[in-house]
Structure 1
């Protein structure tokens, strides 16, 4: 019998992959540095703001 406790954490899946050239990578790096946000959080915030600007509903928690 195992002593570990299992938690019911929802499984997360990869939703998208962003590819770009060296110039885009450098631009994105400067944006991350300026905002001090990790890439995933920066993209999440940008997506939410874009959706709101289009009148789309607020997303559920990730």
Structure 2
């Protein structure tokens, strides 16, 4: 148990507050596919999804997103 007065969690940074934007649920096979694709791209899952969204938005003629 934490000692009284000791703050828990990550310390607040100087930048703007970030929040969870997307959470996906899927089966084990889909997760394995995503893990394999991310490894193929040499990226983490979040970066793989971010790049996929960038490409998809560009193909659709949509503007680029702000910096994450």
- Identify the TM-score tier after normalising by the shorter chain: 0.7 to 0.9
Aligned equivalent of 1:28: 34
Q: Compared with structure 1, are the counterparts of its residues 22 and 7 closer, same or farther at alpha carbon in structure 2 (3 Å cutoff)?
A: closer
Unmatched 5+ stretches in structure 1: 1-5
Unmatched 5+ stretches in structure 2: 1-11
1:55 aligns with 2:61: yes
Paired residues in the alignment total 57
Between the aligned partners of 2:46 and 2:31, the Cα distance in structure 1 is: 14
**What is the CA distance between 1:33 and its match in structure 2?**
1.3
Higher helix share: 1
